[in-house]
Amino acid sequence: MKLLKLVPDDTNIDFLKWRVMAFALSLVLMAASVGLVATKGLNFGVDFIGGQMIRATFTQTATAPVSELRTKVATLGYGEPTIQRFGKENQVSIRMKLPDGADKKPEIANAMAVKITDKLKADYPGVRIDGVDSVSGKVSEELFSKGMLALLAAMAGVSIYIWIRFEWQFGVGAIWSLVHDVTLTFGLFSLLGLEFDLNIIAALLTIIGYSLNDTVVVYDRIRENLMKFRKMDMAGLLNLSVNETLARTVMTSVSISLPLLVLVFFGPDVIFGFSLAMAFGIIIGTYSSIYQAAPILIWLKVGPHSFVPGEGATPKAERMGESFGAQP
């Protein structure tokens, strides 16, 4: 029985031919993502901004009456609600600020939730309440700061690991790839207005781990080839290394992406954001390991001379032995 191969053994694709175009495209997309986050912002969930969020599905209508719903909830005396569709057209999230004193007395928040849900059930027969979440302002600030700190710590730790394992240029390439992947994911969520909560932080941390795994595999092969092919030009050596690891990269990416895409299209709405972030991150991570992590080594002047002794160079151990032998 012939085994299935997504990538032939004799693959010889000139990836580095498009490195300038790919790098320019990535810079444009990253700038657009930063611009979107700066102007439009992120749709932070209750985890990060505090308050109470009620998720509801209007089972008897194709679309949720957002404007009408906003007016009716506002008459309850808790202030102006923030209502957004998520998932399907008949699904909404109703976000409210917690009343004064709710931090110390949870029953105040509970009473508000009961009053809002009772209003929905009375005015819209058949409405289904999918969930009620409450987070105090103090807790939400702590969650946000710790979530961002976890992202930064993960990226810094990855860079230090790559630096120690290889050379500083490889560490720069790894951190650039991670910044690229995370920035584009932020841009996607800002563009689509999807809720950004702790689940997305978890997805981003997973993406960082996957991207590092792909990058280390490529970098390890590059280092091996730098030792084997001392006179090959750097672009050709990078192409060779990427092609040699391409089968493993594609197989890993496809095997992880398939179940994630199933979750995106057929999974429950409560994990839609997490599934989309993961699927997008896996695809972008595969792209960055080929078109970001590898080509940047050329611009950082990496070559056999960078950390492999030249042919005429005397090994360090030998030089030390000679110096000790010369002592009386």
For 15-41+140-307, the fitting CATH number among 1.10.10.10, 3.40.50.11540, 1.20.1640.10, 3.40.50.300 is: 1.20.1640.10
Q: State the Cα–Cα distance between residues 196 and 1, nearest whole angstrom.
A: 47
CB 249 within 8 A of CB 289: yes
CA nearest to 223, candidates 288, 310, 303, 161: 303
Secondary structure (DSSP) of 180-223: HHHHHHHHHHHHHT-EE-HHHHHHHHHHHHHHHHHHHHHHHHHH
Distance of CA 188 to the CA centre of its chain: 10
The alpha-helical segments, DSSP class H, found in the chain are 19-39, 46-49, 66-74, 106-123, 137-165, 168-192, 198-228, 234-266, 272-291, 296-299, 304-307, 316-325
Domain ranges of the chain: 15-41+140-307, 51-135
CB 100 within 8 A of CB 83: no
The most distant pair of C-alpha atoms in the chain lies apart, rounded to whole Å, by 100
Residue 12: the pLDDT is 78
CATH code that applies to domain 51-135:
3.30.70.3400
Q: State the Cα–Cα distance between residues 269 and 266, nearest whole angstrom.
A: 9
What are the distances in angstroms from CA 177 to CA 55, 124, 201, 237, 323? 36, 49, 18, 20, 43
- Token digits of residue 277: 């972030």
- Token digits of residue 10: 């004799």
CA nearest to 127, candidates 75, 68, 76: 68
Q: What is the chain's pLDDT, residue by residue, as a tens digit (328 residues)?
A: 555 566 666 777 888 888 889 999 999 999 999 999 999 888 887 777 767 888 888 888 888 888 888 888 888 887 778 787 777 788 888 888 777 666 677 777 788 888 888 888 888 888 888 888 776 655 666 777 887 888 888 878 877 877 777 778 888 888 898 899 999 999 999 998 888 888 888 888 888 888 888 888 888 888 888 888 877 888 888 888 888 888 888 888 888 889 999 988 887 777 888 899 999 999 998 898 888 888 888 888 876 666 555 444 444 334 433 443 444 4
Torsion of CA 36, 23, 161, 281, to 10 degrees: 50
CB 178 within 8 A of CB 212: yes
Strand partners, 83: 94
Residue 304: the pLDDT is 67
Global confidence as pTM: 0.73
By CB atoms closer than 10 A (0-12, 13-18, 19+), residue 244 is middle
CB 54 within 8 A of CB 132: yes
CB 159 within 8 A of CB 147: no
Residue 6 carries which DSSP code? S
Residue 281 carries which DSSP code? H
Q: State the Cα–Cα distance between residues 281 and 210, nearest whole angstrom.
A: 9
